[in-house]
């Protein structure tokens, strides 16, 4: 890796839960970050959120010792990603919104700058049509929170070039992450398997077979799952889960991916999981 690459920031587009989480990881490992969002309110709270997450990550031993924190720059202008080594788009899990964001990036970054969509379900080949240089485009699926989960699902599209993949792998190595590269299909591997399973867990609760607590206790106690499917749903964000399931249902026709009404009702009520303070469980308060 050249010195010029080392000095260039990582750009993150989108200051939501995942955008802030990825920025926290990068800053915590000493990389400079430019965090961009057109929503001024999100930007105003992003610095506080990242500072809080950095403290938590340090307490949990998730950051490298003796490494100075990287600088964080927030901006409402997409033009400020122009000098980035690599850009990660982390806007909402909506294909049209992502396509618009990616198109805006495509005319700003250098032709050889990798552009990465952090997505849980939308095919990379579909989104690649929004970019001028699809050979520089690929996907990641960071798990939440990114600074605690070391493995990252990397999605290589049919048009992704070797150089872009190599650059992303280099950046992830500098962030202490382990990339596992998969092919391009709706949901890839983790979401294609996990999200329909969570949807089935919601169905079990919806039908009155068991409470969320019992469902999760069975998965933890009998199957060795770390938290259970419904606590996992709250961590993902119930709105993000519903969006991902819609993508899977629309693109695969699998009726098991059609979001359950109980899930949709919680989203309508604003009960989105940990980030709102309530989902299938109650939490101490919403994250700012």
pLDDT by residue (tens digit) across 242-254? 999 999 999 999 9
Is 4 a residue whose pLDDT tops 50?
A: no
Residues of the chain with CATH 1.10.1040.10: 191-276
pLDDT at 282: 97
Strands (E), the chain: 10-13, 33-36, 72-75, 86-89, 115-118, 137-141, 151-155, 178-182
For residue 183, is it left (φ>0), alpha (ψ between -120 and 50) or beta? beta
Which pLDDT band holds residue 284 (cuts at 50, 70, 90)?
confident
Is 1 a residue whose pLDDT tops 50?
A: no
Catalytic residue, candidates 5, 133, 141, 249:
141
Judge contact between 93 and 243, C-beta under 8 A.
yes
Is 286 a residue whose pLDDT tops 90?
A: no
**Coil, strand or helix at 121:** coil
Greater pLDDT, 245 or 286: 245
Residues of the chain with CATH 3.40.50.720: 3-182
Q: Within 10 A of 101 (CB to CB), how many other CB atoms are there?
A: 24
At residue 217's C-alpha, the angle toward residues 215 and 220, to 5°, is: 110
**Cα–Cα distance between 131 and 148 in angstroms, integer?**
31
> In this structure, which topology does domain 191-276 adopt according to CATH?
1.10.1040
Is 168 a residue whose pLDDT tops 50?
A: yes
Which pLDDT band holds residue 285 (cuts at 50, 70, 90)?
low
Structure tokens at 269: 């009520």
225 annotated active-site: no
What's the distance, Cα to Cα, between the start and end of the chain in Å?
36
Q: Which class is domain 3-182?
A: alpha beta
């Amino acid at each position: 890796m050249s010195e010029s690459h080392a000095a260039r920031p990582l750009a993150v587009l989108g200051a939501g839960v995942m955008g802030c989480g990825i920025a926290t990881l990068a800053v915590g490992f000493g990389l400079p970050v430019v965090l961009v969002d057109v929503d001024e309110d999100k930007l105003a709270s992003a610095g506080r959120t990242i500072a809080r997450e950095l403290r938590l990550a340090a307490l949990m031993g998730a950051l490298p010792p003796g490494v100075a924190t990287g600088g964080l720059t927030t901006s409402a202008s997409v033009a400020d990603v122009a000098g980035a080594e690599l850009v990660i788009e982390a806007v909402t899990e909506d294909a049209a919104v992502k396509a618009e964001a990616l198109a805006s990036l495509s005319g700003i970054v250098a032709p050889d700058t990798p552009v990465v969509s952090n997505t849980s379900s939308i095919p990379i080949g579909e989104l690649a049509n929004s970019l001028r240089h699809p050979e520089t485009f690929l996907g990641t699926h960071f798990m939440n929170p990114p600074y605690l989960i070391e493995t990252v699902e990397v999605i290589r599209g049919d048009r992704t070039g070797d150089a872009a993949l190599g650059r992303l792998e280099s950046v992830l190595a500098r962030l202490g992450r382990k990339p596992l590269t998969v092919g391009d299909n709706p949901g890839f591997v983790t979401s294609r398997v996990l999200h329909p399973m969570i949807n089935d867990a919601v169905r079990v609760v919806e039908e009155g077979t068991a409470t969320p607590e019992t469902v999760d206790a069975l998965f933890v106690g009998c199957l060795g799952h770390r938290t259970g499917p419904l606590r996992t749903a709250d961590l993902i964000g119930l709105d993000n889960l519903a969006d991902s399931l819609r993508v899977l249902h629309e693109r695969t026709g699998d009726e098991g991916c059609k979001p359950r009404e109980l899930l949709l009702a919680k989203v309508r009520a604003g009960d989105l999981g940990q980030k709102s303070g309530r989902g299938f469980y109650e939490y101490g308060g919403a994250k700012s």
